[in-house]
Structure 1
Amino acid sequence: MTVPYTGGCQCGQIRYEIWAEPLTLYACHCQECQKQSSSAFGMSMPVPRDAVVILQGKPKQWQRVSDSGREVSCLFCEECGTRLFHNPARNSKITNVKPGTLDDTSWLMPVGNLWTRSAQKWVVMSEQMLNYEAQPSDFTQLFEQFQTE
């Protein structure tokens, strides 16, 4: 895949483009991601925040505190509820795109798992991936691993 990456919400009210390559892609097994995804985990694809362009619609935003104790702004479609982006307060240069909202998801290949200590018991973690019991203090390995894939 090459830029721009395109995506949107389920109902089509919000459409976006990403004009930079992703920095990494990982699955998060924290309880908040399980709730927001209504599944066993959520996925995050960090990109430079200024590379995200909203083409249509306006996401609604609300704040929450993550399992790591950090503030996160969550952006979603007010009409259908699709979670689109997370903007971490700790890094104003990054937006975590929820990659299931991309138009083409065929190329997605996470390189790591975060918060494995709260993963559902039936989820099998690959030893080929970077696995963290909680939030890593440094994402360098996740970025480097993604660049080599």
Structure 2
Amino acid sequence: MPQPYFGGCQCGRIRYQLLAEPLTLYVCHCTECQKQSSSAFGMSMTVPRKALSITQGQPQEWRRNGDSDREVICFFCGNCGTRLFHQPERNPDITNLKPGTLDDTRWLHPVGHVWTRSAQPWFTISEETLQEEKQPADFSEFFQRFTPKTE
């Protein structure tokens, strides 16, 4: 699905647009993503930070240190609580968009899994995908493997 991409929160107060192709898409099994998503994992779509813009509303900000002990700035809707994206302070050029907030999610296909050591034991990870026990020091292989799906 070619850009631009559009998305927003559950209640519709926050809307955004992405004016560049995503860089990668992966599944994170860290305990923070499990808590944040109220599920077995979270997904992150790395995008160029300058290409993401809020077109309606103003998200709230919350800062935390993740399992990797790196600070992350989290943005969410103050009304419905939907997590929209994260901005890692260690890399000011990227944003990790929460891809479930996209208007069209049919084309999403993660290339790998991180923090697999925290994965729920009942979840099966395909051996065809990249797998990292913790936070990778380098995501270059995740970037190389990712190709946005088109319809």
Q: Please indicate, yes or no, whether the TM-score normalized by the shorter chain is above 0.5.
A: yes
Q: Is the partner of 1:54 in helix, strand or coil?
A: strand
**What pairs with 1:104-123 in structure 2 (closer than 5 Å)?**
104-123=104-123
Residue 98 of structure 1 corresponds to 98
Structure 1 vs Structure 2: percent identity of aligned residues? Answer: 65
Which AA in structure 1 matches 2:20?
A
The root-mean-square deviation of aligned C-alpha atoms, in Å, is 1.0
Residue 39 of structure 1 corresponds to 39
1:44-75: per-residue Cα shift (whole Å, max 9, x none)? 00100010010000000010001001000000
Q: What runs of 5+ residues in structure 2 fail to find an aligned partner?
A: none
Q: Is the partner of 2:142 in helix, strand or coil?
A: helix
Question: What CA distance in whole angstroms lies between the structure 2 residues aligned with 1:27 and 1:87?
Answer: 17
Q: Is the partner of 2:95 in helix, strand or coil?
A: strand
Tell me, yes or no, if the aligned pair for 2:73 and 2:89 is still in contact at 8 Å. yes
Question: What CA distance in whole angstroms lies between the structure 2 residues aligned with 1:101 and 1:148?
Answer: 17
Which AA in structure 1 matches 2:4?
P
Runs of 4+ residues over 2 Å off in structure 1: none
1:148 Cα offset (Å): 8.6
Q: Is the partner of 2:86 in helix, strand or coil?
A: strand
Question: What CA distance in whole angstroms lies between the structure 1 residues aligned with 2:54 and 2:4?
Answer: 12
Q: Is the partner of 2:146 in helix, strand or coil?
A: helix
Q: Is the partner of 1:147 in helix, strand or coil?
A: coil
1:115 Cα offset (Å): 0.2
Residue 48 of structure 1 corresponds to 48
Q: Is the partner of 2:73 in helix, strand or coil?
A: strand
Question: What CA distance in whole angstroms lies between the structure 1 residues aligned with 2:86 and 2:74?
Answer: 5
Question: What CA distance in whole angstroms lies between the structure 2 residues aligned with 1:83 and 1:20?
Answer: 21
Q: Is the partner of 1:25 in helix, strand or coil?
A: strand
